[in-house]
């Protein structure tokens, strides 16, 4: 068997996913997901329309808030991502909606293949990586993410690209893609600040400001309106997350006080981590993944974001921690997305329970970094290669 047999396995699985999710073929094994998730292949979170609207010169914020020039089309998500995200997605807007969904699914599957290749760089000697990644590919959380047409896979890919690449352009591209979703941006920005990567932080800010200015000029509206409308949209359409502090405190309609409190808490926490831990990119990837899910609103499919952190941690902790870690990640990827949980998903006690699990993950990660030098050695090995 060839050395890269694992790539063949990944491609076959992704091809099967494509056939199922694009409705080309009803593979019997996937009937489980239809029953378990009770969600069709709707792509209802796919942000095609805001990009299409830019091409057609329709101001989606006027359309959503005021019904001008026509009511916002039903079946499409509210335009509560950044303006930059809508501009980046204009290639999808050039295609009709049905064809664009297929293209978007294809890109997501390519990114999942790339994620595996990036994980191999982080874990060059992990022989069972292919097994764990196959389990991940069949996890209900990932299938739900693909069914909904969510952006989280882009965030995961961009995040890994940022930490894996030594090319500054690739690193900036990765972080730009990862922060296209508002809830991923604050913790990443804190990281850039404490790492003194001020140039990249400024470029990130400049890219978003440039997008706002373009939108202002293109639609002949004030800069204030172009800046205010996406924030207002995020406030009015923000859902309740699965296990983050903001959702537990209540992020709507108490804006912006709870958001400020949460960001302040995590800024102080990031400051504490920075000055009380050994520095390595592997450590940063692990901690940032967990902190991101703990802070601002993230739904159940966003927990795919934590998968690389779990893999990096698993072999560096004691047996007891491995058991706890395995139970938690199984719960997040396989149990949390179940449709049966829908009746309690947004209850305060359930959000608090999930938040406490995130805290357990954080404590395991932080303890392992403080007591184990192996991750630093692993990063040095990667850098030498």
DSSP 301-368: GGGGGGHHHHHHHHTTS-HHHHHHHHHHHHIIIIITT-GGGGGTTT-HHHHHHHHHHHHHHHHHHHHH
Could you read off the pLDDT of 10-23 as tens digits, one per residue?
999 999 999 999 98
pTM over 0.85: yes
Q: Is the pLDDT of residue 1 over 50?
A: no
pLDDT at site 23 = 86
Name which residue leads in pLDDT, 134 or 315: 134
Could you read off the pLDDT of 36-80 as tens digits, one per residue?
999 888 898 999 999 999 999 999 999 998 888 888 998 888 888
- Counting residues of the chain whose pLDDT is more than 70, the rounded percentage is 91
Q: Is the pLDDT of residue 34 over 60?
A: yes
Could you read off the pLDDT of 231-274 as tens digits, one per residue?
888 777 777 889 998 888 875 555 566 777 777 888 877 777 77
Q: What gap in Å lies between CA 16 and CA 27, rounded to an integer?
A: 8
Q: What gap in Å lies between CA 193 and CA 201, rounded to an integer?
A: 7
Whole-angstrom CA distances from 263 to 183, 205, 378 are 11, 18, 31
Could you read off the pLDDT of 142-162 as tens digits, one per residue?
999 999 999 999 999 999 999
Mean pLDDT of 24-35: 85
Could you read off the pLDDT of 178-206 as tens digits, one per residue?
988 888 888 888 888 888 889 999 999 99
Q: Is the pLDDT of residue 375 over 50?
A: no
pLDDT at site 78 = 87
Tokens of 46: 């796919």
What residues contact 219, with CB distance under 8 A and at least 6 apart?
57, 59, 226
pLDDT at site 255 = 54
pLDDT bracket for residue 134 (50, 70, 90): very high
pLDDT at site 29 = 83
What residues contact 222, with CB distance under 8 A and at least 6 apart?
216
Owning domain of residue 133 = 5-384
pLDDT bracket for residue 4 (50, 70, 90): confident
Total residue length of the chain:
385
Could you read off the pLDDT of 323-364 as tens digits, one per residue?
999 999 999 999 999 999 988 988 899 999 999 999 999 998
pLDDT bracket for residue 214 (50, 70, 90): very high
Could you read off the pLDDT of 95-110 as tens digits, one per residue?
999 999 999 999 999 9
- Characterize 152-179 residue by residue with b for buried, 16 or more Cβ atoms within 10 angstroms of its Cβ, and e for exposed: bbbbbbbbbbbbbbeeeeebbebbbbbb
Provide the mean pLDDT of the chain.
86
Q: Is the pLDDT of residue 382 over 90?
A: no
CB distance 33 to 143 below 8 Å? yes
In 3D, which of 275, 248, 234, 267 has the Cα closest to residue 347? 248
> What dihedral do alpha carbons 176, 179, 181, 183 form, nearest 10°?
-170
Total tally of structural domains belonging to the chain: 1
Mean pLDDT of 109-113: 97
- Characterize 233-247 residue by residue with b for buried, 16 or more Cβ atoms within 10 angstroms of its Cβ, and e for exposed: bbeeebebbbbbbbb
CB atoms within 10 A of CB 21: 22
Q: Is the pLDDT of residue 376 over 60?
A: no
pLDDT at site 271 = 79
């Amino acid at each position: 068997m060839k050395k890269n047999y694992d790539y063949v396995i990944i491609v076959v699985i992704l091809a099967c996913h494509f056939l199922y999710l694009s409705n080309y073929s009803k593979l019997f094994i996937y009937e489980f997901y239809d029953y378990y998730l009770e969600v069709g292949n709707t792509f209802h979170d796919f942000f095609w329309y805001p990009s299409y609207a830019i091409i057609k010169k329709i101001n989606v914020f006027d359309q959503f808030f005021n019904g001008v020039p026509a009511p916002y089309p039903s079946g499409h998500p509210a335009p509560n991502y950044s303006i930059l995200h809508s501009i980046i997605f204009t290639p999808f807007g050039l295609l009709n909606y049905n064809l664009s969904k297929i293209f978007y699914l294809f890109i997501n599957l390519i990114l999942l293949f790339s994620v595996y290749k990036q994980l191999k760089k982080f874990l060059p000697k992990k022989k069972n990586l292919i097994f764990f990644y196959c389990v991940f590919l069949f996890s209900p959380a990932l299938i739900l993410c693909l069914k909904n047409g969510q952006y989280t896979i882009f965030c995961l890919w961009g995040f890994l690209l940022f930490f894996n690449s030594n090319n500054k352009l690739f690193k900036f591209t990765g972080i730009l893609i990862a922060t296209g979703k508002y809830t991923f941006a604050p913790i990443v920005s804190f990281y850039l600040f404490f790492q003194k990567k001020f140039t990249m932080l400024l470029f990130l800010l400049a890219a978003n400001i440039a997008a706002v200015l373009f939108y202002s000029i293109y639609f002949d509206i004030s800069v204030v309106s172009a800046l205010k409308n996406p924030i207002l949209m995020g406030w009015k359409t923000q859902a309740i997350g699965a296990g983050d502090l903001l959702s537990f405190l209540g992020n709507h309609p108490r804006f912006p006080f709870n958001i400020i409190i949460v960001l302040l808490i995590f800024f102080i926490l990031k400051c504490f981590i920075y000055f009380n831990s050994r520095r390595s990119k592997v450590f940063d990837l692990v901690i940032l993944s967990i902190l991101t899910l703990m802070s601002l609103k993230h739904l159940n499919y966003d927990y795919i974001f934590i998968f690389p952190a779990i893999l990096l941690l698993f072999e560096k902790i004691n047996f007891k921690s491995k058991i706890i870690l395995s139970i938690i990640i199984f719960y997040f990827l396989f149990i949390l997305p179940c449709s049966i949980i829908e009746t309690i998903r947004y209850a305060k006690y359930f959000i608090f329970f999930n938040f406490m699990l995130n805290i357990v993950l954080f404590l395991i990660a932080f303890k392992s970094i403080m007591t184990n030098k192996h991750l630093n050695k692993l990063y040095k090995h990667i850098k030498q290669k």
